[in-house]
């Protein structure tokens, strides 16, 4: 007789045999997978400042868009998430639609970068890349696509230099850091960030990763690894899984002073909403963001809840503000099958209407 969860000796034996077969296949599957790379699209270095590199993606055909589109990713992970593999690449989708796509790679900070501040990242590195593209294209302004923390940098830059940004697209970008559902923001609000940075210097990547994983411990530390058993006899699926794992744990350390400023001004001070974000000697006011804005957020995002992004509507100064709500999570917005068709098309069509 089956119990309340319908477990019988026969079903237990059947499941044990299935797992045994999957495990037996694992060695052969791993040999078939071998080593693998990431990044689906050729790219060329076009500008550099120290460890920070600006790349131009090379598509199968020349771009038709006249205005460059610069992708600004977060500091905490590597930017190749937007071009992870051939069938999971937001970049490929944009190139196929004629966009001229560039990306800023922040590199891997080391001890020599301990005293980099937000002004370095936003004015020197991001601003330097924007100025290079403006000069190269012979334009006064370019298009920006800011993702997650990179979206907060892009918003800050657009507020400080609205004349240099023609159109602004943000993806899973936090604006209100004090919304109820933002667990990461709740944790960070009480952090003694001065003691933290004074003790550690640069913030270790492993510590940051541990923090993110414990936001959803069952899903990210147990469930997904148990689920790997189901794909141990599928080389393609296992390769996809390992590539994603490589990205998750390929995280740079964080420059200590920039981390200190970011936590204080964004997470603890909620500076976009309350004021108080100072870059160099200038305060950031989102009311100065007067160019067209497309704000894309994910409905099941556990890192940047939708309400944290929706707050942008009431703060930016533009009259041309649009929102796109994506059904998925913080990572799915780049790599899910739905994202490959919906997100590049939405960005391209929105830009084309304002060309």
Which residues are part of the catalytic machinery?
Answer: 148
Q: Would you state the structure tokens that stand for residue 246, as one six-digit string?
A: 């490589």
Placement of tokens 């990431």 in the chain? 38
Closest CA to 347 of 152, 91, 176, 138: 91
Residue 20 carries which DSSP code? Answer: H
Rounded CA separation 13/352 (Å): 59
Rounded CA separation 248/243 (Å): 9
Judge contact between 90 and 233, C-beta under 8 A.
Answer: no
- Mark 188-208 as b/e (b = at least 16 C-beta within 10 Å): beeeebeeebeeeebbebeeb
Q: Would you state the structure tokens that stand for residue 289, as one six-digit string?
A: 């963001």
Judge contact between 109 and 116, C-beta under 8 A.
Answer: yes
For residue 143, what are the β-bridge partners? 69, 167
Q: What is the DSSP string of 68-135?
A: -EEEE--SSS-GGGGEEETTEEHHHHHHHTT--EEEEE-----GGGTT--HHIIIIIIIHHHHHHHHH
């Amino acid at each position: 007789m089956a119990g309340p969860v319908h477990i019988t000796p026969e079903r237990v034996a059947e499941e044990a045999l299935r797992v045994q077969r999957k495990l037996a296949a694992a060695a052969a599957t791993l040999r078939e997978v071998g080593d693998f790379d990431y990044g689906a699209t050729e790219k060329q270095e076009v500008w550099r400042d120290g460890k920070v590199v600006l790349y131009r993606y090379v598509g199968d055909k020349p771009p038709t868009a006249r205005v460059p589109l610069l992708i600004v990713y977060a500091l905490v992970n590597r930017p190749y998430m937007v071009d992870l593999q051939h069938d999971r690449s937001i970049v490929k989708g944009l190139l196929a639609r004629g966009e001229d796509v560039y990306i800023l790679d922040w590199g891997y900070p080391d001890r020599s970068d301990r005293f980099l501040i937000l002004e370095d990242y936003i004015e020197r590195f991001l601003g330097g890349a924007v100025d290079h593209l403006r000069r190269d294209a012979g334009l006064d302004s370019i298009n920006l696509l800011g993702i997650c923390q990179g979206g907060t940098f892009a918003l800050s830059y657009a507020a400080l230099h609205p004349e240099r940004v023609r159109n602004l697209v943000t993806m899973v970008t936090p604006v209100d850091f004090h919304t109820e559902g933002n667990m990461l923001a709740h944790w960070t609000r009480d952090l003694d960030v001065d003691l933290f940075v004074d003790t550690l210097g640069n913030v270790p990547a492993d510590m940051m990763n541990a923090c993110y994983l414990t936001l959803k411990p069952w899903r990210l530390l147990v469930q997904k690894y148990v689920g790997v058993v189901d794909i141990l006899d599928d080389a393609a699926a296992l390769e996809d899984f390992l590539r994603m794992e490589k990205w998750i744990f390929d995280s740079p350390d964080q420059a200590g002073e920039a981390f200190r400023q970011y936590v204080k001004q964004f997470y603890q001070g909620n500076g976009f909403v309350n004021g108080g974000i100072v870059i160099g000697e200038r305060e950031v006011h989102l009311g100065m963001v007067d160019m067209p804005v497309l704000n894309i957020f994910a409905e099941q995002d556990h890192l940047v809840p939708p309400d944290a992004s929706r707050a942008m509507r009431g703060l930016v100064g533009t009259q041309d503000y649009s929102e796109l709500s994506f059904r998925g999570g913080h990572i799915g917005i780049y790599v899910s099958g739905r994202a490959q068709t919906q997100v590049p098309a939405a960005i391209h069509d929105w830009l084309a209407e304002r060309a």
